[in-house]
Structure 1
Amino acid sequence: MLLSPAEKDYLYSSLSQSQIIRPDSRSIQQHRPLEATTSFLPGSNGSARIRLSDGSECIISIKSKVITFDPKAIPNFIDIDIDIIGYRDDSNYVTNLKFQLLNLLQQNFPHDLLKLTSRYAFKLFIDCVIISHTSYPLGLISLGIYLALKTLKLPLLISDTDDAEVAELPTFSDDWDNARSLSEILVSQTKDTNTIFQPPIFIIIGVVGNNLILDPSVEEEQVLENGLVVSFYEGRVITPITNTNFAINSSNSNYKGLSKNMLINSIAVCNKFCPSIIKALDMLIEQEDDTESSVF
C-alpha cells in the first residue's frame, strides 16, 4: 500500500518521536505475529510454512542429495533457489535475496555435519516459494529456513565412513525412523549432549531518527531513513550487516547516511532481543502436535 505525502509525513513524525507510535500498535522492538508449520511436505527432508499477520506467506522445502566432494576445496554443500510471484527468477531483486541467504549459510553453516565419508557428503537444496508478501521478505524467508533446517532429517549411514582406500558408495538405513536431525548428528560428532544446532538468521531493522524499529511493516518501510539487515548466529550478531532500501515499490526520499552510533545500537538491540525470537521458534518445533501454531 503506497502512502500519500501527507500520510508519510504523519507516519514519519510518529516513528521519529521519543514516544514512538507504530501503525499496528506494536512496541518498538516487537516482531509481527507469526504462524508456522513444520515437516508438512512428505517428499522433503525438511519443510516449513510461515505466515505473517499482514498476509505474507512463505514455503520452504529442503531436499538432500549425496555428492562427491574435494576435501581440499571450500565446501559447497548448500544451494538456494527463490521463487517470488510477480518477479523474474533472474531479476536483481530475487538475485540479491538469494545471494544474501546463500552467503549467510555458506559462511556460517557447520559443513562437517553433512559429510558422510572422506569422499561423499549430503548437499542441501533449499527451495523458497514466496506466495505473497508486502514488506521486504528477507526476514520471513530466513526464519522459514531456520525452521526447515531445525526439523531436517537425514537418513542414517550404515556403511563404513572410512573409504579413503576402498571406493565404496554410501549405504543408508531403509527405516526412516532411524533418520537423524542435524542436532543429533552434531551431538554424535561432539559427544556433548548440551550442543544444539542453530542455523543463522537475518533480522530486519528500520532506522527513523534516533529510533530502531524491529521488523518494519510495509507502511513503515516507506518512511525509513535506513534499512538494516543484521545477521545473528550462535547467540550473537555476526557479519554481514548490510544497509538496504526495503521500499522497492515506493519512492523513499528519506534515506541518508547511517551514523556509527546507530549501527552500534542496532547490534545491541539484536543481541538483546534475537535470543527471544530463537527461543520462540524452538518452542514451536518442540510442540508435539503438527497443527499451525503462533510463535510470536
Structure 2
Amino acid sequence: MFKIALSPAERSYLHESLSCSSPIRPDARLYKQFRPLEATCSFLPGSNGSARIRMADGAECLASVKAKVVSLQLNNADATQQLQNLIEVDLDINGIRDDSNLSSTIASSLKGSLVKHVPLDKLRLTHRYAFKLFIDIVVLSHSSVYPLTLLSLATYMALKSTKLPLLTSTVDDREIEEQPMFSDDWESSIALFGDSSLSPPLLFVVAVVNDNIFIDPSPEEESVSENGICLTYANGKIISPLQTISLSPKDNTGINAAQILKAHALVKEIGPLVTKSLDEIVSDDSVKTIF
C-alpha cells in the first residue's frame, strides 16, 4: 500500500471538486462507476473454487475455497453453531500484520456476512459428517486504506465457482458409522450456489465527501473524504451490517441520515449490475475486463 501525499492546495482543490453539486472525480468517473478491473476464476487446480481480481491501479487479490470433510460433535446441542463453524476465513493483506486491527476487523466482517448467506445445508453430508470450507484470501497489493471491496469481489467469485464432490454413500449414519464416499467423476460435482436461492454477499465501501457518495474511491479520494460507509448487498437487497469506517487520517465529521440513504440507494442500484457481471465470468469460466 502506498500513501498519497497531496499538498494543501491539491487537497483543497480535490475536496471542492468532489463536494460540488456535479462532482468531478480525478479520473473523470461517475460517482457510481468502478475503476476497470480484470477478473478470472477457477484457475487454482488444488482448490474447489478460486478467483483473482486485478484493478487498474495494480491492486490484486486472490481467493480460494477448499472443502474438507470433518466430523460433527453429536453431543453438542447447538447444531446451528456447529454449522456456522463450518466456514473458516483466513486473510493475508500484504504490508499489514495478520494480527492487526484492520485485518481482524475485515476478516470478522466478511465471515459474519458469509455465515448468513452460504447454503449450510449443502455442507451437511450426513448426521455425523459435513464439509468445512476454508476460504483463503491474499491481497497481493492494494492502494486503498480499506480494501474490503476488492477482497469481497474475489471471495464472491471464488464461492460462486466452488464445486463439491457428489456423495455416493448413505446419508443416514445415525446407527451405523460410515465414512462418506464420493464420486470420482468431477463432472458430477455439485455447485455450492448452483440452485440455491442464496448468493454470496458483496461488501461495498463508499466515500463520503460533503453530501456526495462515491463508489470505489481512489486513494486520492479517500485522503480527502470526510467518512466512509461499508454496506452489504446480497440477494437483491441491502442487509446488515452497515458500518462507518475511517478512510482518511483527518477527523471524521460524522454521518447523517441523508448520506446513509444516498449510500443505500447507490449500492442498491449498482449491486445487480456487479453481480451480473461477476456471474457471467463464472459461468463462462473466462478472463474478462469489466466495469
TM-score normalized by structure 1? 0.91
Q: What is the CA distance between 1:196 and its match in structure 2?
A: 4.9
Aligned counterpart for 2:30 among listed residues 23, 27, 30? 27
CA distance in 1, matches of 2:213, 2:265: 11
Q: Which amino acid aligns with 1:239?
A: S
Separation (CA, whole Å) in 1 of partners of 2:218 and 2:123: 37
**What is the match of residue 68 of structure 1?**
71
Aligned length: 281
Q: State whether residues 118 and 199 of structure 2, in contact with CA within 8 Å, keep that contact through their aligned partners in structure 1.
A: no
The partner residue of 1:155 within 159, 165, 175 is 165
In 1, distance between residues paired with 2:197 and 2:54?
A: 26
8 Å contact from structure 2 (residues 119, 192) kept in 1:
no
Q: Which residue of 2 aligns with 1:18?
A: 21
Cα distance in 1, alignment partners of residues 255 and 187 from structure 2: 51
Whether the aligned pair in 1 keeps the contact of 2:117 and 2:199 (CA below 8 Å) is: no
2:289 to 275, 278, 294: 294
Match of 2:96 among 87, 90, 100: 87
Inter-partner Cα distance in structure 1 for 2:123 and 2:290? 29
SS of equivalent to 1:139: helix
1:252-285 CA deviation, whole Å, 9 max, x = no partner? 23x1111012112211221111111111111112
| 2:150 alignment counterpart | 140
Report runs of 4+ in structure 1 exceeding 2 Å deviation: 69-73, 107-110
Matches within 5 A, 1:146-225: 146-184=156-194, 187=195, 195-225=196-226
User: Which piece of structure 1 moves more, 36-45 or 81-90?
Assistant: 81-90
Cα distance in structure 2, aligned partners of 1:263 and 1:279? 25
**Deviations, residues 212-261 of structure 1 (Å, cap 9, x unaligned):** 111111110011111011001110000000100123xxx323x1111012
Indicate the residue corresponding to 2:131 in structure 1. Answer: 122
Select between 169-178 and 14-23 the one with higher mean Cα deviation: 169-178
Q: Which amino acid is the alignment partner of residue 294 of structure 1?
A: T
SS in 2 for 1:222: helix
Does 2:285 correspond to 1:275?
Answer: no
TM-score by length of 2: 0.93
2:186 partner amino acid = W
Worse-superposed segment, 10-19 or 263-272: 263-272
Identity rate, percent = 46
Structure 1 gap segments, 5+ residues each = 188-194
Structure 2 residue aligned with 1:252, among 242, 250, 253? 250
Contact 1:150–1:197 under 8 Å retained in 2:
no
Cα distance in 2, alignment partners of residues 107 and 196 from structure 1:
12
Counterpart in 2 of 1:51? 54
How far does residue 140 in structure 1 lie from its aligned partner after superposition? 0.4
Structure 2 unaligned segments of length 5 or more: list them: none
Q: Deviations over 1:93-150 (max 9, x none)?
A: 2111111111111233221121111221111101111110001210000000000000
1:173-209: CA deviations, max 9, x gaps? 112222111133xx3xxxxxxx555211101111111
Which amino acid letter does the alignment assign opposite residue 295 of structure 1? I
Please tell me the root mean square deviation across aligned C-alpha atoms, in Å.
1.4
What is the match of residue 190 of structure 1?
none
Tell me, yes or no, if the aligned pair for 2:37 and 2:289 is still in contact at 8 Å: yes
**Cα distance in 2, alignment partners of residues 169 and 233 from structure 1:** 35
